[in-house]
Amino acid sequence: MPSREQLQALGIQTWVSPAACWSTEVPALTWDALFAELRDAGTALGVPEAGAALAEEQRAALEEIEPVAVATAAGDAPTALWYSSGEDAPYVGAGSGAPQLVLEAAGLTNVAADVDETWTTMSWEALASSDPDVIVLVDAPWHTAASKIERLRANPATAQLEAVQAERFVTIPFPTAEAGVGSVGAVQLVTDAVRPMALG
């Protein structure tokens, strides 16, 4: 894949979503920022009205979702781990990206929320110590949710977790796990899956 500089040298203009930028200067993702990106993408594609309409549709849809619990300062909301990938150590959603937005909007407390990054690597022992009430699994062809469940069951550090034994898993398709048009849908998916668990 050519760099942005190489593409520009060929006369090809590029735009990078701030949510996908690895720069440490990018602030923590917010819903306002995500909806602004939808509008910006519409402008970049020459359809600003469509981008603006999509942003408003997404905002309205988000406002209609009822979280499974309301988080309190005491941390009473059910806890969740967002397990994206990783075999030697789990790669999980941390406190400043799309997973944090989705879990918070769903009424869940992200066990890795105190890590000021979009994603972070967590040891199996730290995962076990966090003892999440529910585990969100990103399902990708190259790293399926089923393979993650097998790994959680096989690892002595996580096999005894109540969430694992009770199969409190939520599967998220990879496209909706990244910040974008699928993020609001991910909130709905998580709330719909967790509510019957009666955790909050």
Q: Residues 148-192: pLDDT tens digits?
A: 999 999 999 999 999 999 999 999 999 999 899 999 999 999 999
- Top pLDDT among 7 and 132 is at 132
pLDDT tens for each residue of 111-124: 999 998 889 999 99
Residue 125: CB atoms within 10 A of its CB come to 12
Q: What's the token pair of residue 92?
A: 């999980």
Residue 142: CB atoms within 10 A of its CB come to 7
Q: Are 145 and 152 in contact (CB under 8 A)?
A: no
- Residue 75: the pLDDT is 55
Residue 187 and residue 99 share a domain:
yes
Residue 85 and residue 36 share a domain:
no
Residue 2: is its pLDDT beyond 70?
A: yes
Res. 24 pLDDT band, cuts 50 70 90: low
Residue 23: is its pLDDT beyond 60?
A: no
- Residue 182: the pLDDT is 94
Structural domain boundaries, residue 142:
79-197
Q: What's the token pair of residue 199?
A: 């955790």
The SS3 of residue 32 is: helix
Report the domain count for the chain: 2
Res. 25 pLDDT band, cuts 50 70 90: low
Res. 18 pLDDT band, cuts 50 70 90: low
In CATH, what number is assigned to the domain containing residue 151?
3.40.50.1980
Residue 200: is its pLDDT beyond 60?
A: no
pLDDT tens for each residue of 70-85: 654 555 789 999 999 9
Residue 71 lies in a domain: no
Query: How far is 57 from 66, CA to CA, in rounded Å?
Result: 17
Residue 163 and residue 187 share a domain:
yes
Residue 163 and residue 84 share a domain:
yes
**What backbone torsions phi and psi does residue 110 show, to the nearest 5 degrees?**
-70, 125
Residue 42 and residue 99 share a domain:
no
pTM of the model: 0.88
Residue 183 and residue 96 share a domain:
yes
Residue 180 and residue 85 share a domain:
yes
Residue 189 and residue 93 share a domain:
yes
Residue 106 lies in a domain: yes
Residue 20 lies in a domain: no
Helix (H) or strand (E) holding 91: strand 91-93
Q: Are 83 and 137 in contact (CB under 8 A)?
A: yes
Residue 40 lies in a domain: yes
Vertex 83: Cα angle to 146 and 105 (nearest 5): 120
Q: Are 177 and 145 in contact (CB under 8 A)?
A: no
Residue 146 lies in a domain: yes
